[in-house]
């Protein structure tokens, strides 16, 4: 009897302590807190497309994050950093599934991702509902940081450029450098491609050019010759197709086969700026253009980063967003450092709202891609977009060109 | 007469006919508007038709497998799209080896034949094993069970190949001989499309005459008419079913090799969309009917290529090629409304009803 009584007392005491502890912590942050006990890791998650046709995009950004963690010594405030992740598949369903999985893990402090804008559109609100702030290294669709995006995107930021800039640069390039007057665009119905080609078309028209047609293909389709024949009826001199690797490869291969398009200039965007795209398009990619971040304008630390990348993975980067991912990870780590409250027992307490606010308050952070300063809507990039041209050597060695062909500035 | 007709027509029929009718009106209106606008020259239309024929012959070959299996087993082999994928994905490694060794440059015809054979062999073996391991034990189970098994087998095969060859895609090497185009009597045709169309036509003809004229073909037809009677007549039903799977697999493997030549990219998920399209083609033509599957495949390929421009351009719909798949499935709906048995399916439906 006595023993049971003691047991109950201890149990009650324990519950009481836990309850007061939780209450005290909750009171500090309107959304909730994460408490990391002594020796437990600081858990950060990525949601990238690390499998499938577009795996190069996700692998590239994942490596950026890994190098960033290594650069801080794998530790934050005396706690080891744990990185886990989910594959997103570069589509809305995959983004939703990955975000739901991450949201169910209460130990996750912040997320880095997603890669494709279509993933972020359903995914970011799911994460924010669970109090997880996410920083994307490669979402570029304007909608995600548009004033009309709604409060469910409040926990969303990005270090990638906004496509309002990329689309405009591509249009300037076509008109100023190539001197073309008639252009056509192709998108695949994804948020990224649709908005990017729309910005391109708008700027192109404003600068005095004519858009002969704005076509679309469905993801997974392989026979692009009919749609290209339709485009050929408008006799464009230039085709801009900011889509993804599989469909982009088919268009590049098939464009020159269609009567009337033999001399047309082809241009893609950062989504297909990858050695995997060269694999998909083969020699037909020679001479085509890509709009993508200007590596030559990156900060001095970028060279170091490339050396580390080469050493760690034995190859050059696979896509354009490794540096943005590195910066995103640094941003997250710095913000955690700022808001984490150290307990006497060696624990860390991190308020979710406080972390989100700290991330939005990032100002003048010296990143690889430039100075990172976030605006009210979560656009943090310091975007410099350049145009690259693919040479025969690039295709042969499966390497992206590293020197810009043209810059708008 | 009228009385009897009224009794037979249900309200559902009327609604279906109304849907079908309005779709038809839209199609005719759209086509007329497009043709009147005169944006496309006859040469463009000819190009659309050739592209459609090339794509359609791939669908037709895959559809053969669906329809033949349905004929003998009365089941939809949903794993057939993976049978289609397995051949060209494996043959890619042969193609890449030929390319690296320079053989593809010096002996392109031999290499192409070898790639073709490997693709057909692997696909037919996968189909054979699939039947033996996954479907035969369930031969007498209720109809739904093999269907679910087929879906499971489909996932299994997909992920086995993902595990074997990776989740990324591989690109077929370019065969120089097949690049560029030929011009016949003023008609410009891409070389590999010409090769694919001719080779597929020959294969389809060979398959059809095999089914119609040989003893084995006759036995397969007997099994598909009545398994028990065929058994009583001394036909080895199991063997005939295996043969059916092997033939269907060969057709799919050939289709896969054509696909590799035409589109270059292969990956573990590549079978899904062509598989669904070929299944649609088989239903369009009348499932269980072999010439029907061929016709359905060609028809679907043509509709996908010509349809968006012809039907939707005139209606002022932007970016019509995004709706390519919608058009293909609308065609299926239309055919099923007006001819529930498919284009050539009537005879069969009467016999088996």
Beta bridge partners of B52: none
A245-264 residues touching B, CB cutoff 8 A: 245-246, 249-250, 253, 257-259
Give which of A152, A158, A166 is closest to A138, Cα–Cα: A158
Q: Is B317 in CB contact (< 8 Å) with chain A?
A: no
Closest Cα in chain B, distance from residue A367 (Å) = 31
Q: Which CATH number fits domain B15-35+51-352: 1.10.10, 1.10.3470, 1.20.1460, 1.10.287?
A: 1.10.3470
Q: What is the mean pLDDT of residues B27-34?
A: 88
User: Nearest-CA distance from B87 to chain A in Å?
Assistant: 18
How confident is the model at residue A16, as a pLDDT? Answer: 54
Residues 6+ apart with CB under 8 A from B265: A222, A246, A249, A250, A280, B169, B170, B171, B172
* B309/A215 CB distance under 8 A: no
Does the distance separating the beta carbons of B169 and A226 come in below 8 Å?
no
Average pLDDT score over residue span B279-289 = 89
d(CA B327, CA B321) in angstroms, rounded, equals: 9
Are residues A53 and B168, on separate chains, in Cβ contact within 8 Å? yes
Domain ranges of chain B: 15-35+51-352
Contact status, residue B96 vs residue B170, Cβ threshold 8 Å: yes
Pairing of strands B170-171, B265-266: antiparallel
Question: Nearest by CB to B321, which of A51, A216, A258?
Answer: A216
Residue B173 DSSP symbol: P
- Chain B 69-128, residues with CB within 8 Å of chain A CB atoms: none
CB contact under 8 A, B308 and A53: no
B314 confidence band (pLDDT: 50, 70, 90)? confident
Mutation for testing the A interface, residue in B59, B92, B99, B171 having most A CBs under 10 Å: B171
Distance from the Cα of A52 to chain B's closest Cα (Å) equals 5
Residue B342's pLDDT is 83
Is B165 touching A (CB cutoff 8 A)?
no
Beta carbons within 8 Å of A54's beta carbon, 6+ residues apart: A90, A115, A116, A244, A245, A271, A276
Distances, alpha carbon A32 to alpha carbons A29, A104, A107, A336, A366, in Å? 5, 14, 12, 14, 30
**Residue B184 pLDDT > 90:** no
Query: Which portions of chain A are predicted below pLDDT 70?
Result: 1-27
CA dist., res. B337 & res. B18, Å (int): 10
Place of tokens 């359905």: B296
Asked if pLDDT for residue B348 goes beyond 60, the answer is no
The alpha carbon of B91 is separated from its chain's Cα centroid by a whole number of angstroms, namely: 20
A218 to B324: CB separation less than 8 angstroms, yes or no: yes
Residue A381 class from Cβ within 10 Å (0-12 exposed, 13-18 middle, 19+ buried)? buried
Distances (CA, A) of B11 to A369, B129, B338: 66, 47, 15
Compute φ and ψ for B123, nearest 5 degrees. -60, -40
Give the residue from A288, A287, A254 showing the smallest Cα distance to A272.
Answer: A288
State which residue of chain A sits closest to B322, comparing Cα positions: A217
Hey, is the C-beta of A225 within 8 angstroms of any chain B C-beta?
yes
Chosen for mutation from B42, B161, B179, B263 (greatest number of chain A CBs closer than 10 Å) is: B263
- For residue B105, with 0-12 CB atoms within 10 Å meaning exposed, 13-18 middle and 19 or more buried, which class applies? middle
Beta bridge partners of A156: A134
What is the reported pLDDT for A25? 46
pLDDT at B350: 46
Q: What is the pLDDT of residue A21?
A: 47
- In angstroms, how far is CA B83 from the centroid of its own chain? 12
How many Å lie between the alpha carbon of B189 and the closest alpha carbon of chain A?
A: 10
Domains of chain A: 33-162+298-384 (3.40.50.2300), 164-293+386-397 (3.40.50.2300)
Question: Of chain B residues 248-267, which have a CB less than 8 A from chain A?
Answer: 259, 262-265, 267
pLDDT tens sequence across A345-374: 888 999 999 999 999 999 988 889 988 999
**pLDDT tier at B274, thresholds 50, 70, 90:** very high
Q: Which residue of A has its CA nearest to B52?
A: A226
Those of residues 169-198 in A touching chain B at CB distance below 8 A are: 187, 189
Of A376, A375, A335, the residue nearest A44 (C-alpha):
A335
Nearest CA in chain A to B178: A257
- What percentage of residues in chain B have a pLDDT greater than 70? 97
Three-class SS state of A212: strand
């Amino acid at each position: 009897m006595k023993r049971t009584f003691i047991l109950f007392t201890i149990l009650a005491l324990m519950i009481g302590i836990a309850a007061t502890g939780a209450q005290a912590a909750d009171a500090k942050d309107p959304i909730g807190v994460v408490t990391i006990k002594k020796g437990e890791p600081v858990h950060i998650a990525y949601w990238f497309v690390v499998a499938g046709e577009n795996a190069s995009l996700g692998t590239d950004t994942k490596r950026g994050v890994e190098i960033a963690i290594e650069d801080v010594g794998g530790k934050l405030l005396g706690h080891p950093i744990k990185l886990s992740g989910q594959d997103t598949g570069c589509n809305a369903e995959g983004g939703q599934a990955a975000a739901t999985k991450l949201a169910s893990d209460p130990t996750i402090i912040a997320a880095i991702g997603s890669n494709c804008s279509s993933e972020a559109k359903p995914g970011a609100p799911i994460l924010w509902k669970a109090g997880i702030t996410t920083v994307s290294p490669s979402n570029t669709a304007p909608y995600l940081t548009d004033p009309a995006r709604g409060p469910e995107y409040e926990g969303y930021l990005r270090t990638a450029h906004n496509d309002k800039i990329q689309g405009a640069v591509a249009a300037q390039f076509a008109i100023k450098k190539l001197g073309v007057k008639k252009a056509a665009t192709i998108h695949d119905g994804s948020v990224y491609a649709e908005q990017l080609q729309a910005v391109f078309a708008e700027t192109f028209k404003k600068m005095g050019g004519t858009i002969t047609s704005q076509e679309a293909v469905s993801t997974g389709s392989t026979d692009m010759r009919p749609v290209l024949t339709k485009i050929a009826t408008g006799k464009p001199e230039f085709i801009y197709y900011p889509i993804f690797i599989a469909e982009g490869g088919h268009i590049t291969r098939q464009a020159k086969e269609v009567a009337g398009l033999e001399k047309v200039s082809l241009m893609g965007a950062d989504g297909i700026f990858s050695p995997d795209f060269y694999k998909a398009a083969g020699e037909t990619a020679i001479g085509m253009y890509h709009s993508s971040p200007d590596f030559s304008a990156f900060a001095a630390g970028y060279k170091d980063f490339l050396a580390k990348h080469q050493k760690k993975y034995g190859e050059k980067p696979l896509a354009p967003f490794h540096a943005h991912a590195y910066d995103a990870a640094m941003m997250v780590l710095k913000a955690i450092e700022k808001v984490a409250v150290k307990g006497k027992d060696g624990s860390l307490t991190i308020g979710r709202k406080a972390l989100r606010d700290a991330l939005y308050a990032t100002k003048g952070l010296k990143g690889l891609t430039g100075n990172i300063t976030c605006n009210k809507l979560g656009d943090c990039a310091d975007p410099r977009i350049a145009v690259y041209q693919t040479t025969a050597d690039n295709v042969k060695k499966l390497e992206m060109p590293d020197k810009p062909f043209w810059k708008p500035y | 007469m009228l009385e009897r007709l009224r009794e037979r027509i249900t309200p559902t029929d009327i609604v279906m006919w109304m849907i079908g009718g309005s779709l038809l009106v839209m199609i005719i209106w759209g086509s007329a508007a497009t043709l009147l606008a005169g944006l496309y020259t006859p040469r463009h239309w000819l190009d659309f038709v050739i592209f459609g024929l090339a794509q359609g012959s791939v669908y037709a070959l895959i559809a053969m497998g669906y329809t033949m299996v349905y004929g003998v087993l009365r089941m939809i082999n949903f794993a057939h799209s993976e049978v289609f994928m397995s051949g060209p994905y494996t043959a890619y490694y042969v193609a890449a080896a030929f390319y690296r060794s320079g053989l593809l440059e010096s002996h392109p015809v031999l290499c192409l034949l070898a790639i073709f054979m490997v693709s057909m062999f692997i696909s037919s073996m996968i189909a054979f094993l699939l039947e033996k391991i996954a479907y035969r034990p369930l031969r007498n189970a209720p109809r739904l069970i093999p269907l679910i098994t087929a879906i499971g087998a489909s996932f299994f095969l997909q992920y086995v190949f993902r595990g074997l060859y990776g989740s990324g895609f591989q690109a077929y090497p370019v065969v120089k001989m097949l690049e560029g185009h030929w011009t016949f009597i003023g008609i410009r045709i891409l070389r590999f499309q010409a090769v694919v169309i001719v080779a597929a036509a020959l294969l389809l003809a060979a398959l059809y005459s095999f089914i119609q004229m040989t003893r084995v073909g006759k036995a397969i037809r007997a099994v598909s008419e009545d398994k028990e009677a065929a058994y009583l007549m001394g036909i080895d039903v199991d063997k005939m079913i295996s043969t059916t799977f092997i033939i269907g697999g060969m057709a799919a493997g050939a289709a896969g090799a054509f696909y590799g030549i035409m589109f270059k990219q292969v990956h573990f998920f590549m079978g899904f969309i062509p598989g669904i399209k070929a299944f649609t083609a088989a239903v369009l033509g009348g499932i269980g009917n072999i010439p029907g599957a061929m016709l359905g495949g060609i028809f679907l390929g043509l509709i996908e290529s010509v349809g968006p421009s012809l039907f939707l351009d005139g209606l002022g719909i932007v970016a019509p090629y995004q709706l390519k798949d919608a058009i293909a499935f609308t065609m299926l709906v239309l055919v099923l409304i007006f001819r529930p048995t498919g284009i050539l399916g009537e005879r069969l439906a009467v016999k088996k009803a």
